[in-house]
Structure 1
Amino acid sequence: MSRAADLDRFYDLLADLSDRVGGARRLKDCTGYMDWPDRGVYVFLAPGETRADSNEPRVTRVGTHAVSAGSGTSLWDRLKQHYGTGDGSSDHPHGGNHRGSVYRLRVGEALAERYDLRGEYPDWGTRWSGVERERDAVRDGEYPLERRVSTYLRDQPFLWVGIDDEPGPDSDRAFVERNAIALLSNRDRPAVDPRRDVWLGRDSRSPAIRASGLWNVDHTDESYDPAFLDTLAEAVARTDGV
């Protein structure tokens, strides 16, 4: 089958998944008290963006967790890293830690580029081992941008599918994530479902994000194995709402 046909099947599976879980959610409406599956794959959707030939929301990021052997990270643990801090955080309410979430990192970079803020956040994206200033001072200085990242991410609709296999790079979760990214990516290939000019990712510092149309870097230049769609279909059939 062609890539276009495989994309159609992928989005059909997402439509089925949306029906099964009661529709896409936004992080701003979610808590850890909801009945999340222990492990799974999630996809974020771009508000206001649809596929080129339908009204289906376009996928803008694919992610999973616990792909290292022995990892105990849950699906909600990963989503909470993207969500950031709540209003109960005494120091930085509604902020976050972009050093613990690549998604936050990349969105922050793009916001800084779009609004000419790069000079205000010289350590953004630098590992703590490379930051010479006191960490508390860096956190305080980065807080306004962390808040802007939280505002952006918490309004992105997302869907999730439960895939509860053992952590590891050969897990079904890793297989689905890797191949979904490769299928969706427009990097180094004819564009399908081209991204709108206003999409924030167009201001990313990463050529892979700008070219792929996804908030992903890894796997965007790889070929995909269509068999992942069968694995995804089986997982969708087992997934219920939270």
Structure 2
Amino acid sequence: MFIILDYINAIGRFYNLLNTLERQVSGKRKLKDCTGYMDWPDRGVYFFLEPGEARGLTDQMRVTRVGTHAVSEGSSTSLWDRLKQHYGTGSGSSNHPHGGNHRGSVYRKRVGEAIIEKHALHDDYPDWDKRWSSIDRDRSEVRDEEYILERRVSTYIREQPFLWVDVADEPSADSDRASIEQNAIALLSNFEGQTIDPRDDGWLGKYSQSQEIRESGLWNVNHVEEEYDPDFLDLLENAVGDTTPP
């Protein structure tokens, strides 16, 4: 009983911190309204939320993806670099405007897979989940074939509100960013555990090929089966205090 209460209290604290963060950065953003010219922190953790889907009996949006970047030593990837991979291509792309590259963004890949499953589009996109090394066709032909779905993925992801925290530590698997990401996923996941904040039946992730995504309620696969360390909430609170509007 006390374990469940601790769990519920930890989730409550997590979302209270997001409320504080939202006020601090003057509101959530959507990728469709963002550019690399904004004053993004070099490194951070981001939280995507699902519009129209509230947690429990509240009107607070539920987190559906947690992510970070540069957790390998020597990596120079910035927060915006990672967000731009999820955003996809802009209007100025000569060949595939507002498309993207799902082979460079697991988030895009998973959303595309769910769209394929939901609308039975397997025959239209036979190579969607394959690496280039396993595709015996011209790459430009595959990109042209997948362009319409890439656009649908862009539309979906760019409409997801998100928040982020500034965590300016060095790239490492033991970084504070990695800890916040891993433990937030473990805390929010419903995979093989107590169902907190039930997921709406209409959530696109319900159509995912991944059991981890379907059951966890997150567009994450890694860390959904793990136990969370409540101390990560102190790291998150400190990061919220360090975060300013872009």
**Normalized against structure 2, the TM-score is what?**
0.98
2:227 paired residue number: 223
Q: Paired residue for 1:68, among 44, 57, 72?
A: 72
Offset, 1:103: 0.2
Matches within 5 A, 1:3-22: 3-22=7-26
State whether structure 2 residue 126 is matched by structure 1 residue 122: yes
AA matched with 1:201: G
State whether structure 2 residue 200 is matched by structure 1 residue 196: yes
AA matched with 2:114: A
Q: How many residues align?
A: 242
AA matched with 2:169: D
**In 2, distance between residues paired with 1:2 and 1:191?**
14
1:88 paired residue number: 92
AA matched with 2:27: G
Calculate percent identity across the aligned residue pairs: 64
State whether structure 2 residue 142 is matched by structure 1 residue 133: no
Offset, 1:168: 0.8
**In 2, distance between residues paired with 1:241 and 1:46?**
21
**In 2, distance between residues paired with 1:182 and 1:75?**
22
Give the 4+ runs in structure 1 shifted more than 6 A: none
**In 1, distance between residues paired with 2:70 and 2:104?**
14
RMSD between aligned alpha carbons? 0.6
**In 2, distance between residues paired with 1:65 and 1:118?**
31
**In 2, distance between residues paired with 1:49 and 1:2?**
24
Matches within 5 A, 1:143-182: 143-182=147-186
What 5-or-longer segments of structure 2 have no aligned partner? none
Offset, 1:53: 2.5
1:51 paired residue number: 55
Per-residue Cα deviation, 1:11-45 (whole angstroms, up to 9, x for no partner): 00000000000110000000000000000000000
State whether structure 2 residue 41 is matched by structure 1 residue 34: no
AA matched with 2:45: V
Offset, 1:237: 0.5
AA matched with 2:76: G
AA matched with 2:131: R
What 5-or-longer segments of structure 1 have no aligned partner? none
SS in 1 for 2:201: coil
AA matched with 1:86: G
1:107 paired residue number: 111
